[in-house]
């Protein structure tokens, strides 16, 4: 799929508001394709600003009732999870439309680019993608970027959902998902491997997928602090891998790390770098981005100057506001590694943590029960409080073998303070009622883009309480 046949091609996205679908719709619309879509969230009136943003980019929006699929010329893009009974899919099948998954479309755009840069790993993909985007943009390389998160560097009042950049340069930068095996479709020139840890698949399956991904690249950028990633790097020719580490033995080594509540600094080679995002995991992310930028021919000084200006992503340790001495942070933490990184970043400084964790489905709770429980038991201090509402549920059939109540019972049995409050609004109100000056509230979860609205509402509740007091 080359640029020449994208202009005027017709695409219809089923679930156009999804975090992986929306940036692809933006990229295609920006390249001259005729793009339309539907979304269950649009029909339910959730997050209207997101759909307004798509409409301003020329994406035609339809109810998810089949009415938007009118021609066999339309390429219908849907995630593999969309059921065949959905009206749009029924219409597409009736008309004989070509079907593509989100990953097949992204991989086709990626592989057709002159400098495809793929970012893989269980955690940190969106952040590294955003960091590379900032570096290449500031270096004048005008990249195209496909990110699953909103890049605050590129968001403006008229472009609030900047999860994509549409550039005319050679580079196509994309995070690459291993959860559905579609990583095998990508042919990177530069491949980043952040880490390998349990999320959607077994470690054996993950290692096989990641090994093939970095083996396909001209240059692999690998985190050797992660044992599995380090073992995979050893299988590559030495001249085709750039390693990075926090204080260890690698090509890019961060030393003299100094943490701040909402920033972090480190020394790389002889340069002092200060990031406007906190946490040691973000130093690791920065090294990954620098390695990719160097492989793409960006000078070292330009790369670190751009990183100093990087402001982060929405929903990645995103400080939503402070009221009554209580900071409210919105975070994408949903698997053990991500949750542990956020809790460690917060606990580097004093203050009690009040955590609202909304699981992103019943399936993940079952798959990760033991690891999630262990992460919370290890990551929470004695005074902290964890509250779980019921998992996000957006329709369809689902097995409810493991529930939020089960996780809470396991955490509490291990001695940590945890409560199950089924209704999310009630769970949030419980935490704001408990909060006192010096506390940090963190809202965690994935696959639900109303969580930032909940975090903002909690800031408002705290502010209102502060006024009354």
What pTM did the predictor assign?
Answer: 0.87
Residue 67 and residue 95 in contact, taking contact as beta carbons nearer than 8 Å: no
Burial of 382 from C-beta contacts in 10 A (0-12 / 13-18 / 19+): exposed
Residue with the larger pLDDT of the pair 466 and 387: 387
pLDDT band at 158 (very low <50, low <70, confident <90, very high): confident
Give the strand pairing for 263-268 and 271-275: antiparallel
Residue 459 and residue 440 in contact, taking contact as beta carbons nearer than 8 Å: no
Residue 397's pLDDT is what?
66
pLDDT band at 179 (very low <50, low <70, confident <90, very high): confident
Mean pLDDT on 186-203: 84
Picking from 35, 36, 38, the residue whose alpha carbon sits closest to that of residue 14 is 38
Residue 1's pLDDT is what?
52
Backbone angles phi, psi at 393, to 5 degrees: -140, 120
Residue with the larger pLDDT of the pair 128 and 159: 128
Percent of all residues in the chain with a pLDDT value above 90, rounded to a whole number: 78
Mean pLDDT on 313-323: 92
The residues, ordered by sequence, that sit 6+ positions from 160 with a Cβ below 8 Å of its Cβ are 49, 53, 150
Tell me the pLDDT tens digit for each residue of 45-65.
Answer: 888 888 999 999 999 999 999
246 pLDDT higher than 70: yes
392 pLDDT higher than 70: yes
Tell me the pLDDT tens digit for each residue of 347-386.
Answer: 999 999 999 999 988 888 888 899 999 999 999 999 999 9
333 pLDDT higher than 70: yes
The residues, ordered by sequence, that sit 6+ positions from 220 with a Cβ below 8 Å of its Cβ are 190, 191, 192, 193, 214, 233, 236, 240, 241, 242
- Over the chain, what is the mean pLDDT? 92
> Greatest CA span in the chain, whole angstroms?
65
Strands (DSSP E) found in 52-91: 60-62, 75-78
The residues, ordered by sequence, that sit 6+ positions from 109 with a Cβ below 8 Å of its Cβ are 1, 24, 27, 144, 146, 172
For 278, the token pair is 């906190």
Residue 4's pLDDT is what?
47
Task: Tell me if residue 310 falls in helix, strand or coil.
Answer: coil
């Amino acid at each position: 799929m080359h640029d020449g046949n994208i202009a005027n091609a017709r695409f219809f996205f089923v679930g156009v508001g999804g975090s992986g679908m929306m940036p692809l719709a933006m990229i295609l619309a920006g390249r001259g394709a005729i793009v339309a879509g539907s979304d269950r969230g649009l029909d339910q009136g959730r997050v209207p600003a997101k759909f307004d943003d798509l409409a301003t980019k020329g994406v035609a929006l339809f109810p998810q009732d089949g009415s938007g699929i009118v021609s066999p010329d339309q390429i219908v893009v849907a995630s593999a999870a969309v059921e065949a009974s959905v009206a749009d899919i029924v219409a597409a099948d009736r008309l004989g439309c070509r079907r593509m998954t989100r990953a097949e479309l992204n991989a086709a755009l990626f592989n057709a680019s002159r400098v495809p840069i793929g970012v893989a790993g269980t955690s940190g993909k969106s952040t590294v993608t955003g960091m590379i985007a900032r570096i290449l943009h500031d270096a004048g390389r005008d990249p195209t970027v496909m990110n699953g998160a909103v890049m605050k560097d590129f968001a403006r009042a008229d472009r609030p959902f900047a999860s994509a950049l549409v550039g005319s340069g050679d580079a196509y930068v994309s995070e690459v998902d291993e959860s559905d095996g579609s990583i095998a479709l990508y042919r990177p020139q530069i491949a980043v491997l952040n880490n390998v840890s349990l999320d959607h698949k077994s470690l054996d399956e993950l290692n096989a997928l990641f090994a093939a991904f970095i083996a396909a690249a001209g240059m692999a950028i690998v985190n050797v602090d992660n044992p599995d990633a380090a073992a995979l790097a050893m299988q590559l020719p030495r001249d085709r891998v750039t390693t990075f580490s926090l204080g260890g033995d690698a090509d890019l080594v961060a030393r003299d790390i100094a943490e701040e509540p909402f920033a972090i600094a480190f020394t790389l080679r002889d340069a002092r770098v200060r990031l406007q995002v906190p946490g040691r995991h973000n130093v690791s992310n920065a090294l990954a981005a620098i390695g990719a930028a160097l492989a793409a021919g960006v000078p070292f000084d330009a790369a670190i100057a751009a990183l100093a200006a990087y402001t982060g992503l929405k929903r990645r340790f995103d400080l939503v506001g402070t009221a009554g001495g209580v900071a409210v942070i919105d975070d994408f933490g949903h698997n053990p590694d991500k949750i542990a990184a956020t809790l460690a970043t917060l606990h580097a400084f004093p203050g009690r943590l009040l955590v609202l964790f909304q699981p992103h489905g019943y399936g993940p709770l079952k798959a990760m029960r033991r690891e999630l429980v262990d992460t919370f038991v290890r990551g929470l201090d004695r005074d902290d409080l964890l509250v779980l509402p019921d998992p996000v549920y957006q329709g369809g059939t689902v097995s409810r073998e493991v529930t939020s109540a089960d996780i809470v019972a396991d955490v509490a049995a291990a001695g940590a303070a945890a409560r199950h409050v089924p209704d999310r609004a009630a769970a949030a109100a419980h935490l704001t009622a408990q909060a006192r000056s010096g506390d940090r509230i963190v809202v965690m979860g994935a696959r639900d883009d109303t969580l930032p609205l909940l975090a903002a509402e909690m800031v408002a509740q705290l502010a209102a309480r502060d006024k009354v007091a």
